[in-house]
Amino acid sequence: MIVHRNRCPECNCAPSLMAGINTPGGAREETYLVCWKDRLVAKVSATIEWRKIAKPTWAKLTPYHWQMTVHGHLLDYWPTRRKWRYRNETHVGDVNAFLRRLDRRMKRN
């Protein structure tokens, strides 16, 4: 399988497969390998060329609803209520503290 032959060059772990529809400018039929731990991505083609994933940035959908992709999952945030939703779980509180904890957890794994 393509994942087992093309391991992450930094940590040597098996990367995740991701459809191109989830990447900026990617087409539905394109496939990417992603290492979330080292934040690397490579388009599946005859030659695999790994590159760094840009830092996630907030997309302001409305003044009351912001969104970003974190480790391949959508994070919705409503700043007026300090409420956010990530991986089908709703939370209230400091979203930046949550993101720091999540990054530390992903770096350990």
Residue 62 has pLDDT above 60, yes or no: yes
Q: Could you tell me which of 1, 3, 81, 74 has the C-alpha nearest to residue 35?
A: 3
Q: Which amino acid is at 48?
A: I
Q: Please give the radius of gyration of the chain, using alpha carbons only, rounded to the nearest integer.
A: 16
Reply yes or no on whether the pLDDT at 60 is more than 80.
yes
Q: Is the pLDDT of residue 1 over 60?
A: no
Q: Where are the domains of the chain?
A: 2-52, 59-108
Which DSSP category does 8 fall into? -
pLDDT at 44: 82
Residue range 5-9: mean pLDDT, rounded: 85
Please indicate whether residue 78 or residue 52 has the higher confidence score (pLDDT).
78
